[in-house]
Amino acid sequence: MADSARAARLAKRISSIVASAIGTEIKDPRLAHVTITDARVTNDLHDATIFYTVMGESIDAEPDYDAAAAGLAKATGILRSKVGAGTGVRFTPTLTFVLDTVPDAARQMEELVARARANDELVARQAATATPAGEADPYRSSDDEPADEDGSQE
């Protein structure tokens, strides 16, 4: 029977084991700027998907995604051995590394929100100096016409 709580705990443990191993034990220079962001394990505990991001060497440098993917592919066997030793489960899950696109999506959303705010400010400035197309108060009020006995206006 599948236990999603156990899978979540195992995913968290795998994430920390892999991040620690990449940071301290694996000396591949292609993995120097790799950060593990999340891990998910299937409910049967046989497959683990590990999400990662790659930072550039500096703020302006473009990250090398291909080299990081190649480094992770080469280190998958060692990382799986570390996961097996660190978790103590009967079957060590297979590891699949997937580039995490959440930071890029978040940056795009921030840009869209900033553009929407700029458009809102423009509309607010235009509305402050705008005049109504018709009368200043286009709605009828009860003072305009007297009502009949049944409450309707003619």
Kindly report, residue by residue over 27-75, the tens digit of the pLDDT. Answer: 888 888 899 999 999 998 899 999 999 988 887 788 888 999 999 999 9
Q: Is residue 51 part of a domain?
A: yes
Q: Is residue 144 part of a domain?
A: no
Indicate which CATH number applies to the domain containing 12: 3.30.300.20
Query: pTM of the full predicted structure?
Result: 0.68
| Residue type at 101 in one-letter notation | T
Q: What is the pLDDT of residues 5-24, one digit of tens each?
A: 889 999 999 999 999 999 89
Q: Is 22 exposed, middle or buried (0-12, 13-18, 19+ CB in 10 A)?
A: buried
Do 13 and 87 lie in one domain? The reply is: yes
Do 69 and 124 lie in one domain? The reply is: no
Do 61 and 124 lie in one domain? The reply is: no
Do 94 and 107 lie in one domain? The reply is: no
Residue for token pair 């009502």: 147
Q: Which domain holds residue 109?
A: 102-130
Closest CA to 48 of 9, 104, 103, 102: 9
Do 18 and 93 lie in one domain? The reply is: yes
Q: What is the pLDDT of residue 88?
A: 84
